[in-house]
């Protein structure tokens, strides 16, 4: 059974950077697309970015473009989210998820995605 495990969250000051990791265990996810999502307190979970496993196709939510970068390392079966110039409003639990294509991943919540991690908390202080 495939599991997704996020790491890299923590407390950072506004303007700082963090890199989140999502490691897949159980089997390779070479046929999947991966995505990052976040859920702030009292808000709905929202799409952040998605990537196909080869890394050749990425897609970002408009509000995330420019500060966030998604990437993948096939050899490590890991997807990353580099977050720069963090703001207090970026405070949220960040989740990774997997499904068949970037389009499906980015369509959440219209689509229920096949795999989810447990989330990692990012707190940005002002």
| For residues 42-58, average pLDDT | 92
The verdict on whether omega for the bond into residue 46 sits within 30 degrees of 0, i.e. cis, is: no
Residue range 11-48, pLDDT digits in tens: 999 999 999 999 998 777 777 899 999 999 999 999 99
pLDDT value, residue 93: 98
Residue count (the chain): 126
Whether the predicted pLDDT of 55 surpasses 80: no
Quote the percentage of the chain above a pLDDT of 90.
80
pLDDT digits (tens, 9 = 90+) for 87-109: 999 999 999 999 999 999 999 99
């Amino acid at each position: 059974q495939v599991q997704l495990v996020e790491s890299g969250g923590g407390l950072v000051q506004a303007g700082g950077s963090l890199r989140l990791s999502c490691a897949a265990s159980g089997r390779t996810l070479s046929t999947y697309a991966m995505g990052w999502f976040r859920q702030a307190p009292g808000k709905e979970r929202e799409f952040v970015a998605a990537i196909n496993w080869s890394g050749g196709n990425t897609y970002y939510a408009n509000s995330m473009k420019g500060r966030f970068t998604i990437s993948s390392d096939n050899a490590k079966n890991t997807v990353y989210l580099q977050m720069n110039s963090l703001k207090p409003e970026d405070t949220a639990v960040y989740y990774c998820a997997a499904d068949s294509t970037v389009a499906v991943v980015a369509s959440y919540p219209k689509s229920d995605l096949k795999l989810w991690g447990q989330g990692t908390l990012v707190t940005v202080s002002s």
